[in-house]
Structure 1
Amino acid sequence: MASINSIYFDSGDTGFVLISTALVWFMIPGAGYFYSGMAHRKNALSLILLCMVSVAVVTVQWFFFGYSLAFSKSGNKLIGGFRKALFLNLEKEDPYPNTNISESTFAIYQLMFAAITPALAIGSTAERARIFPTIVFIFLWTTLVYDPIAFWVWSEHGWAHDLGSLDFAGGTPVHMASGAAALAYALVLKKRMIESEEGEPKPNNVTNIILGTIMLWFGWFGFNGGSALGANPRATNAIIVTNLSASIGGITWMLWDYRLEGKFSALGFCSGAISGLVAITPASGYVSPPSAIAFGLVSGFLCNLATKLRNIFNYDDACDVFAVHFVGGFIGNILTAIFAQNSIVQLDGHSDPIDGGFLDHNWIQIVYQLANSLAGGLYSFFATLMIVLIMNEIPGLSLRASPDSETLGIDQSELGESAYYFLDELIMANVQTGEYHQMPRGRVQTNGNIRQNDVEDGRLQQPSL
């Protein structure tokens, strides 16, 4: 035990939360690699970069006033005040309520949640969103959407918290909010040129998708386990149910896809694992391991079906953010109302008792979960819609790249860099030696090792290293 001015903090709990902070940070480039692998190779670098820029932008916002808006006690039931702006007035000499950690430890941990949420949302904008307006959007969205929803759900003074809704690690503030924002942004941007011309594009690098899934799955142990805010049996239980739900979700999605072509899909397994992780997030501190099986099964099946909404309603959510995060978060919130148990909450030794869900005969919990879910999801969708529509009318902040930039690729047109210089040079070598013939819509067929790579209608240039 370590002491500060006679107020004691558990060094083990503090260390556990700080390690969890690092794990959640690790998820953000994981999302970048996941999205990068799903996109066309000429847009791969921009997606990884935007996820990393999200960390920097939200860090600045969180320090100046974001944390205060989300967790200050000086506001009302809808939003916090500015008392803790610039990280002033953090209660460094008192534990954060119901924990053995300082508020500064809590604040830096919660920063990672705030940073990853807009990074998740921008996956729907892949391959046609301009870089600078996206950065501005991240700042505005975190301030106007994430911070209020986080306050509703997690602040002691938030209306959803007072109502009795249960959300352990971000079913509504992180996943439903990012999924709703992704849908609104995608609707305003409209469909990608390549999607309109050629149908659904194929991922450029499935190994990056697997790498991103590994990073996300690993980091999720800090995301859910760390939300216990201490090294205790409740944190262990959260990690167990997280791993179990992800495993069941991945197997369910993969088997459900198997019925179509009789093949096991790596992308399907990764998508199912992520859906299981999303669904268990709001419930991980409230449910037992057997209950986690239901979360993986239901999310793996329903999130898979939800990906078909793109075709039904003709919108272009490039990385299925709405299907996985919004639908998965909603499933998790509702199943929490069924499987939450007070006995799991009491494993940490310091949390106040809860009434639980259906298993504890608390039938009204479903109403609380629906109220939390619908309020957060609808607010995020319509607030995001207003943000992007207004931005689109401001000179210099138009959201969509020009047709020429989209054809060339966001990496080259906006960054002047490429994720695959070696491949660009190999293609150029084939072009210069004439070992190719032109395919429809700018596709290239070579008689060497490269097949059906993109040559951008005469725009391919020798890249400089």
Structure 2
Amino acid sequence: MEARHSSPGPPEYHASQPKGGNPLTEDVNHQYLFFEAHYVYIVACAFIVWLIVPGVGFLYSGLARRKSALSLLFQSLMILAVITFQWMFWGYSLAYSRSAGPFIGNLEHFGLKNVSIAPSPGSPYIPEILYCYFQLLFCACTVIIVVGGAFERGGILPSLVFSFCWATIVYCPLACWTWNANGWLYNFPSLDFAGGGPVHIASGCSALAYALVLGKRKNTSHPSHTKPHNPTLVFLGTAFIWCGWLGFNGGSTLNASVRSFVVIFNTNAAAAFGVLGWVLVDYIKHNRKFSLVGACEGAIAGLVGITPAAGYVTPWLAGVIGLITGCVCSLMQNVNQWLRIDEGMDVFKLHGIGGMVGSFLTGLFAEKSIAMLDGMTGGSGAVDGNGIQVAKQLAHIAAVSGYSFVLSCVLLGILKYVPGLGLRVSEQAEMVGLDNYEFFDEQIGDWSLAESLQGMAVVKRAGSTVSEIPAERASQGEEGKKGNA
């Protein structure tokens, strides 16, 4: 019988060559020659993850009133730019340095020093520069989600300063806790496949802190002031996010194994079941009526719920997680009223509460047989007889939510009193809208046409037709004149 030839093992990291080799004297690609499928797969996932950036921008823009929609699109792009600088400056080193402590890394890779073609700390199958880029997108997406807590009354420039600082003192430590081999949650261990804690729970709790520190918006008493101005943008943003999350979760295996393909299927299943759960609750609560925005929120809830569990559960359990998360988040519709905080983008409801539900269910449903599909990862939950994992997941939830909320409040409290920064825009700027106040020559839509249409209402009185300004528009005064319908 002909002997089988086994491929060589993955390349090893050597401290004597932190860059992985000298391209001037050797072909540095040879060490990855047998693992091309792995790094090509991760590159493709990274490209897909990037779609989440405009996706969140579209989603937030559609959910906001039109007078502040452009600012949210702008912020999504600007935050990506700021976080790219932060990550290159010291963010990556604080989160993933090889000699990190249990709580935060050091400046070993300050300025991306020695981040090159050596095997990455996350997976020996891919070079560190690719790993660095993939994790950069995680950080950027998280910060963009957080800033949703400030919509319609938070200044753009202060939000960018906050983004840099928040990524440094909140996200990077949490990423180190959860995914760095030296992190305390990594060794606890808690199970968090792709970011239930650092991405979702942290962003939800931090957005809640942002809304709390800024205070409530002005003039939101009328129902039309809290409705999405463009459900089509909400749908488009959700489609981008759903697609991007397939790469977000699918690439988190950091290899092209069978586990990666199970993760992709699980992610899609959870999002689909999240839609079913949310729509079912809406259908019952609202007398057999549907909501497109509700269906979109259900998809996001399902994606949030499956994020920590995607690499640990079977497809049917992934669907169950999506369904439960969608139902729970939909039932939390009035959480802002209960908390008396104006967090109108529902970041805390979808990401904070959804992330907590997903992390808890991971402790229940994780199966080692799924985790081991990549040939190297363990992890099991109550269904495998490891009931203590549920308590560890609860500890994980408490630590991440407490740390992110408290540190965000402290950071925002400091920025609030920085002279000249202006964490919250003036009342006048809020009334006319951030688009009118912050931008010099751009607006969404034809405002003159909108004014003409909104200023005319046909009212039948005694068999005759009379055109008049609606009472709602008249009560808005100058704000109404700026298109705030």
TM-score over 0.5 for the pair: yes
Matches within 5 A, 1:88-99: 88-90=113-115, 92-99=117-124
The unaligned stretches of length 5 or more in structure 1 are: 445-453
Residue 75 in 1 paired to residue 100 in 2? yes
Cα deviations by residue, 1:109-150 (Å, 9 ceiling, x for unpaired) = 000000010100111211111111111111110001000000
8 Å CA contact 2:122, 2:131 repeated in 1: no
8 Å CA contact 2:196, 2:304 repeated in 1: yes
- Structure 1 residue aligned with 2:449: 426
Q: Secondary structure at the match of 2:322?
A: helix
Residue 284 in 1 paired to residue 315 in 2? no
Displacement, 1:99?
3.6
Pick one of 134, 137, 149 that aligns with 2:162.
Answer: 137
Q: What letter is aligned with 1:260?
A: K
- Distance in 1 separating the partners of 2:336 and 2:406: 19
- Structure 2 residue aligned with 1:226: 251
Q: Secondary structure at the match of 1:335?
A: helix
Displacement, 1:197?
5.5
Q: Secondary structure at the match of 1:315?
A: coil
8 Å CA contact 1:146, 1:173 repeated in 2: yes
- Structure 1 residue aligned with 2:406: 382
Residue 392 in 1 paired to residue 436 in 2? no
Distance 1:199 1:379, change over 3 A: farther
Q: What letter is aligned with 1:161?
A: Y
- Structure 2 residue aligned with 1:335: 361
- Structure 2 residue aligned with 1:412: 436
How many residues get paired? Answer: 449
Distance 1:6 1:213, change over 3 A: closer
- Distance in 2 separating the partners of 1:458 and 1:171: 41
Displacement, 1:28?
1.2
Residue 86 in 1 paired to residue 120 in 2? no
- Distance in 1 separating the partners of 2:309 and 2:454: 54
Cα deviations by residue, 1:212-266 (Å, 9 ceiling, x for unpaired) = 0000000000000010112221110001111111101111101111123321110
- Distance in 2 separating the partners of 1:5 and 1:41: 50
Distance 1:232 1:388, change over 3 A: same
Pick one of 301, 320, 329 that aligns with 1:303.
Answer: 329
- Structure 1 residue aligned with 2:19: none
Q: What letter is aligned with 1:184?
A: A
Pick one of 271, 274, 291 that aligns with 2:300.
Answer: 274
- Distance in 1 separating the partners of 2:480 and 2:228: 23
Cα deviations by residue, 1:426-446 (Å, 9 ceiling, x for unpaired) = 1355699999743345459xx
- Distance in 2 separating the partners of 1:6 and 1:95: 16
- Distance in 1 separating the partners of 2:389 and 2:441: 51
- Distance in 2 separating the partners of 1:92 and 1:168: 25
Distance 1:398 1:197, change over 3 A: farther
Displacement, 1:56?
0.4
Q: Secondary structure at the match of 1:163?
A: coil
- Distance in 1 separating the partners of 2:341 and 2:202: 18
Matches within 5 A, 1:42-61: 42-61=67-86
Residue 260 in 1 paired to residue 285 in 2? yes
Distance 1:88 1:279, change over 3 A: same
Q: Secondary structure at the match of 2:32?
A: strand
Of stretches 433-442 and 154-163 in structure 1, the one that deviates more from structure 2 is 433-442
- Structure 2 residue aligned with 1:344: 370
Displacement, 1:313?
2.2
- Distance in 2 separating the partners of 1:157 and 1:232: 25
- Distance in 2 separating the partners of 1:331 and 1:164: 18
Cα deviations by residue, 1:343-392 (Å, 9 ceiling, x for unpaired) = 1111112x2433x0011111111122112111111100000000111111
Displacement, 1:75?
2.9
Distance 1:5 1:128, change over 3 A: closer
Pick one of 359, 362, 365 that aligns with 2:389.
Answer: 365
Pick one of 37, 42, 49 that aligns with 1:24.
Answer: 49
8 Å CA contact 1:96, 1:102 repeated in 2: no
- Structure 2 residue aligned with 1:450: none
Distance 1:437 1:399, change over 3 A: farther
- Structure 1 residue aligned with 2:23: none
- Structure 1 residue aligned with 2:347: 321
- Distance in 2 separating the partners of 1:376 and 1:226: 23
8 Å CA contact 1:183, 1:322 repeated in 2: yes
8 Å CA contact 2:145, 2:347 repeated in 1: yes
8 Å CA contact 1:7, 1:94 repeated in 2: no
Q: Secondary structure at the match of 1:395?
A: coil
Distance 1:190 1:108, change over 3 A: same
Percent sequence identity over matched residues? 40
Displacement, 1:20?
0.9
Pick one of 194, 197, 200 that aligns with 1:172.
Answer: 197
- Distance in 1 separating the partners of 2:198 and 2:477: 41
Greater helix fraction, Structure 1 or Structure 2: 1
Q: What letter is aligned with 2:444?
A: Y
- Distance in 2 separating the partners of 1:287 and 1:194: 46
- Distance in 2 separating the partners of 1:280 and 1:315: 27
- Structure 1 residue aligned with 2:151: 126
- Structure 1 residue aligned with 2:21: none
- Distance in 1 separating the partners of 2:401 and 2:329: 16
Cα-Cα RMSD: 2.3
Displacement, 1:199?
7.5
- Structure 1 residue aligned with 2:39: 14
Displacement, 1:318?
1.2
Q: What letter is aligned with 1:369?
A: Q
- Structure 2 residue aligned with 1:439: 470
Residue 207 in 1 paired to residue 238 in 2? no
